[in-house]
Structure 1
Amino acid sequence: MSIAKALNNAVSGLTATARGTETVASNLANIMTPGYARREVAQSAQTLGGYGGGVRIDGISRVVNATLVAESRLAQSGSADARTRLDFLLQMGDIVGLPGEEGALSTILGEFTNALQAAATRPDDELRLAGVVDAAERLAERLNAASGAVQDARAAADKAIESEVATINAKLEQVAYLNRRIAIIESEGNDPSSLLDQRQAAIDAIAEIIPVQEVARDRGMVALFTTGGAVLLDGSRPSRFEFSAVGQMTPDLSVGIPPVMRLVQNGVELSAAQMQLFEGGSLEAHFAVRDQLAPQIQQELDALAFDLHERLVDPAVDASYPATAAGLFADGGTRASLPTIAGLSARITLNPLVNPDAGGELFRVRDGLGTAFSGPVADSALLLAMADALSASTAFAGGAGFEGNGSLSSRFSELEARVALRRVAAESESSVRNSRSETISGRLMADGVDSDAEMQRLLQYEQAYAANARVIQAIEEMMDQILRL
C-alpha cells in the first residue's frame, strides 16, 4: 500500500470517529429529551481503484421502533382519557360525599330530619322551630351547591375542549411545516434527524388528545389519521378544527342545541356518529364529561330534589295550603312539576313563608304554611307528619334510575353510593391504563439511548481514533526519514 493510500485511510478513519463521537455526545445529552431518537453513524468501506480506500460515512440514522412508538401513543391516549374521567368523578365524590360523612348530602338530610323530630318534642320552642328552618335552608343550599359544582365541571370541560382544539391546530400546522422542511433537507442530501425529532414530539402531543395513526409518505413526509379513520393531515394542508366554549353552563343547555356545540372540522360541525371517529383521548373524555357524565349526575340531583319537594306538598302532610302551591320547599317560589324538573336542584329554595329573614313566620313550620295566625303551641302533628313523610318508603316518580320503594334518606345514600362506585371503577380503569402506558414507555426508553452502550461505543471510537492517529504518526516518521536521506 502506498503512503498516500495509507494516509487517506487514516484521515477517513479520523473523520468517521469524529462523527461517531459527536453522535454519542448527542445521544447522551438528549437521553431524557421527549421525542429524541438514538442516532447511529452508518458507515461502509470505501474503495479506490478496486482497493480499500478507507471509510465512507453514509449518513446518520435515527433508530426508531415505529411499532413501539405507535403503541406508546395509543397508551398515552387511553391514559389521558381515563385520567380525565377520574378527575371529574373524584370532584363529584367530594361534592356528593359518602354516607355518614360530614357535609354529605345524606348527612345534611339527616340533620333536617333530626331537627323536625327535635321540634316535635317541644313544638312550643321557637329555637327548635328555627332549627328546622335553618336545617331546611342548609339542605336546599347544599343541593344548589351540588348542582352548581356539576355545571362548573361541565363549563371546565367545555373550556378544556376549546384549549385542546387550539393545541391540535397548532401541532398539525407544525407537523405540516416540518413535513415540508424534511422533504427539502432530504432532497439536498442533508441529515433531517433533529426535525424528525421535533415532528415526533408534535405528533406525540396530538396523540394524547386524539389517538393518531402515522402513515409514511414519499420524501420523508407523514400523513396523520385518527384511529377511527378521520383525516388530520394528508398532504400539505392539515384539517382545521374549530370550537367555541359556552362560558357558563346551566342544566337546560345540552349538546346539539346552540350555543353548546360539537367539534367543527373544516367548517362543518360533526354529527354524533362522526364524533366517534375521535374517541379515545382526553378530547373525547372532556366531551363525555360535558354531555354524559355531568348531565347524569345533574338528573339524579334533580330527581332527589323533586322527591324532597313532593313528599312535603302532599295534602296528607299539610292540608292548610292550596294543593297547587309549593310546600316547605319551592321551585323558585312555585310548585315543582315533572315537565320542569331539569335543573330543579339548582333552583330549589326554602319557602319564604316560614323564614323570618324573608318576612315569614316560624309558627307556620308547626301550624301549616296556609295559616295566618299561630295555633296551639303544643301541636306537633305537622312536624311529625313531615318527618314521617321523609322516612316513608314510597314509589319514585322522578326517574334518573331510582326504582322501587324507598325512603328519601335511602335514595340520597344511593346517589352517594352510585358516585362512589363510578369513582372506584374509574380508578381501576385509570390504574390499568396508566400501568400499560408506563410499561410501554419503559420499553420505549430501553429501546432508546442506553448510556452504558453509548459509553462502550465511545471507548471503541477512542481506540479507533488512537489507531488512526498512530498510522498518521508512522507516516510522518517515514516521511521524515525519507526527507533526511
Structure 2
Amino acid sequence: MSIARALTNAVSGLTANARGTETVAANLANVMTPGYGRREVALTAQTLGGNTGGVRIDGISRIVNASLVAESRLALSARSEAATRLDFLTRMGETVGLPGEAGSLGSALTEFETALQAAATRPDDDLRLGAVVDAASRLAGRLNAASQSVQDARSAADQAIASDVAALNASLERVAYLNRRISIIESEGSDPSSLVDERQTVIDRIAQIVPVQEVARDSGKVALFTAEGAVLLDGSLPTRFGFAAVGQMTPDMAAGTPPVMRLVQNGQELTASQMRLFGGGSLAGNVAIRDELGPQLQHELDALALDLHDRLADPAVDPTMTAADPGLFTDAGSRADAANAVGLASRLRVNTLVVPGAAGDLWRIRDGLGAAAAGQVGDATMLLSLASAIGSARPATPGSGFEGSGSLQSRFASIEARVTSRRVSAEGESAIRNSRAETITAKLTADGVDSDAEMQRLLQYEQAYAANARVIQAIDEMMDNILRL
C-alpha cells in the first residue's frame, strides 16, 4: 500500500469517527426528547481502482420501530378518549351524588318527604308548612342545577370539539409542510432526520385527537388515515375540517339539527354513520358527551322530574285540582306534559300558589292547591296524601327508561346508581387504557436511545480514532525520515 493511499484511508476513518461521535452525542442529548429517533452512521468500504480506499459515509440512518410507533399512537388515542369520558362521568357523579349521600338528589327528595311528614303531625304550624315549601323548592332547585350541569358539560364538549378541529387542521397543515421540506432535503442529498423527528411529534399530537395510521410514500413523505380509513392527508393538500361551536347548549338541542352540527369534511357535513370513521381520541370522546352521554343523563333527570310532577298533580292526591291544573310542581308554571318532557328537569318549579313571597298561601299545602278557602287547621289528610304519593309504587311512564312499578325514592336511587356505575366502568376502562399506553411508551423508550450502548459505541469510535491518528502520525514520521535522506 502506498503512503498516499494509507493517508487517504486514515483521513476517511477520522472523518467517519468524527461524524459517528457527533451522532452519539446527539443521541445522548435527546435521550428524553419525545419523537426523537436514534441516529446511526451508515458506512461502507470505499474502493479505488479495485482496491480498498478507506471508508465512505453513506448517510445518517434514523432508527425507529415503526410498528411500535403505530401501536403507541392507537394507545394514545384510546387513552385520550377514555380520559375525556371519565372526566364527564366523574363530574356528573358529583352532581347527582351517591345514594344516601348528603347533597345528592335522593337526599333532597328525602328532606322533602321528611318535611311533609313533620308538617302532618302539626298541620296548624305555619313554620312546618313553610318548611315543606322550602324543601320542595330545594328539590326543584337540585334538579334544575343537575340539568344545568349536564348542559354546561355538553357546551364545554362542543367547545372542545371546535378546539380539537382547529388543532387537527393546524397539525395536518404542518405535516404537509414537513413532507415537502423532507422531500426537498432528501433530493439534495442532505439529512432530514430532525424534520422527521418533528413530523413524528406532530403526528403523535394528531393521534390524541383521532386515531391515526401512517403510510410511507415516495421521497420521504407520509400519508395519514384514521384507524377506520378516513383520509387525513394523502398528497400535497390535507383534508380540511370545519366546525362551529354553538355556545350554550339546551336540552332540546341535538346533533344534526341546526345550530348543532357534526364535523364538516372538505365542506360537507358528515352523517352520524360517517362520524364513526373518526371514532377514538378526544374528538370522539367530546362528541359522545355532547350527543350521547349528556342527552342520556338529561333524559333520566327529565323522567325523574316528570314522575315527581305527575305523582303530586294527580287529582286523586289533591281532590281540589282538575286533570288540567298544575300540581305542587309545575313546568315553569304550567302543567307538565309527557310529550314535552325534554328539559323538564331544568324548568321544574314550585307552584306559586303555595309560595308566600309570590302572593301564595301556605295553607294550600294543607287544604289543597285549588281550595277556595282555608279549611280545618288540624286536618293532615292532604299532607299525608302527598307523602304517600311519593312513597307509593307506581307503574313507570312509557319511554321514561324505568321498568316496572316503584316508589319515587327507588327511582331517584336508580338514577344515582346508574351514574355511579357508569363512572366506575369508565374508571376501569381508563385504567386499562392508561396501563396499555404506559406499557407501550416504556417499550418505545427502551427501543430508542440506550445510554449504555451509546457509551460503548463512543469508546469504539475513540479507539478507532486513536488508531487512525496513529497511522497518520506514522506516515508523518516516515515522511520526515524520507526528507532527511
- Counterparts of 2:454 and 2:102, CA distance in 1: 58
* Residue matched to 2:193: 193
**1:236 equivalent in alignment to 2:236:** yes
Identity %: 69
Question: AA paired with 1:80?
Answer: S
- Counterparts of 1:241 and 1:400, CA distance in 2: 37
Q: Retained in 2: the 8 A contact 1:80–1:208?
A: yes
Question: AA paired with 2:433?
Answer: R
- Counterparts of 2:309 and 2:106, CA distance in 1: 16
How many angstroms does 1:398 deviate by? 5.3
- Counterparts of 1:355 and 1:481, CA distance in 2: 117
* Residue matched to 1:307: 307
**1:47 equivalent in alignment to 2:47:** yes
Structure 2 SS opposite 1:6: helix
**1:133-176 Cα distance to aligned partner (Å, 9 max, x none):** 11100000000000000001100110000000001100110111
Q: Retained in 2: the 8 A contact 1:82–1:285?
A: yes
- Counterparts of 2:365 and 2:466, CA distance in 1: 99
Q: Retained in 2: the 8 A contact 1:227–1:277?
A: yes
**1:286-312 Cα distance to aligned partner (Å, 9 max, x none):** 111100111000000000000000000
- Counterparts of 2:338 and 2:100, CA distance in 1: 30
* Residue matched to 2:162: 162
How many angstroms does 1:484 deviate by? 2.5
Deviates more, 1:467-476 or 1:304-313: 467-476
- Counterparts of 1:104 and 1:465, CA distance in 2: 74
* Residue matched to 2:285: 285
How many angstroms does 1:399 deviate by? 2.6
* Residue matched to 1:473: 473
Question: AA paired with 2:86?
Answer: L
Deviates more, 1:449-458 or 1:368-377: 368-377
How many angstroms does 1:30 deviate by? 1.1
Change over 3 Å in CA distance of 1:303–1:398 after alignment to 2: farther
**1:47-72 Cα distance to aligned partner (Å, 9 max, x none):** 12222211110100000111111111
TM-score (norm 2): 0.98
Question: AA paired with 1:22?
Answer: E
Q: Retained in 2: the 8 A contact 1:327–1:351?
A: yes
Mapping of 1:378-417 within 5 angstroms? 378-397=378-397, 399-417=399-417
Question: AA paired with 1:449?
Answer: V
Q: Retained in 2: the 8 A contact 1:306–1:398?
A: no
- Counterparts of 1:319 and 1:96, CA distance in 2: 33
How many angstroms does 1:339 deviate by? 0.9
Question: AA paired with 2:182?
Answer: I
**1:432-466 Cα distance to aligned partner (Å, 9 max, x none):** 11111111111111111111111111111111111
* Residue matched to 1:205: 205
- Counterparts of 2:322 and 2:315, CA distance in 1: 8
**1:32 equivalent in alignment to 2:39:** no
> How many residue pairs end up in the alignment?
485
* Residue matched to 2:135: 135
* Residue matched to 1:105: 105
- Counterparts of 1:310 and 1:164, CA distance in 2: 43
- Counterparts of 1:93 and 1:470, CA distance in 2: 74
Which runs of at least 4 in structure 1 moved beyond 3 Å after TM superposition? none
Deviates more, 1:227-236 or 1:475-484: 475-484
Question: AA paired with 2:178?
Answer: L
Question: AA paired with 1:65?
Answer: N
Question: AA paired with 1:98?
Answer: L
**1:282-335 Cα distance to aligned partner (Å, 9 max, x none):** 111111110011100000000000000000011111111233111110101000
Mapping of 1:216-231 within 5 angstroms? 216-231=216-231
Structure 1 SS opposite 2:256: coil
Question: AA paired with 1:140?
Answer: A
Deviates more, 1:290-299 or 1:211-220: 211-220
Q: Retained in 2: the 8 A contact 1:304–1:398?
A: no
Question: AA paired with 2:247?
Answer: G
- Counterparts of 2:356 and 2:472, CA distance in 1: 104
Structure 1 SS opposite 2:26: helix
- Counterparts of 1:476 and 1:100, CA distance in 2: 92
* Residue matched to 1:16: 16
Q: Retained in 2: the 8 A contact 1:338–1:398?
A: no
* Residue matched to 2:124: 124
Structure 2 SS opposite 1:224: strand
Structure 1 SS opposite 2:101: coil
Mapping of 1:41-80 within 5 angstroms? 41-80=41-80
- Counterparts of 2:459 and 2:448, CA distance in 1: 19
- Counterparts of 2:124 and 2:5, CA distance in 1: 117
RMSD: 1.0
Q: Retained in 2: the 8 A contact 1:165–1:242?
A: yes
**1:296 equivalent in alignment to 2:322:** no
- Counterparts of 2:467 and 2:346, CA distance in 1: 82
Question: AA paired with 2:288?
Answer: A
Q: Retained in 2: the 8 A contact 1:309–1:327?
A: yes
* Residue matched to 1:89: 89
**1:119-144 Cα distance to aligned partner (Å, 9 max, x none):** 11111111111111111000000000
Structure 1 SS opposite 2:394: coil
**1:422 equivalent in alignment to 2:414:** no
Question: AA paired with 2:54?
Answer: G
**1:446 equivalent in alignment to 2:435:** no
* Residue matched to 2:331: 331
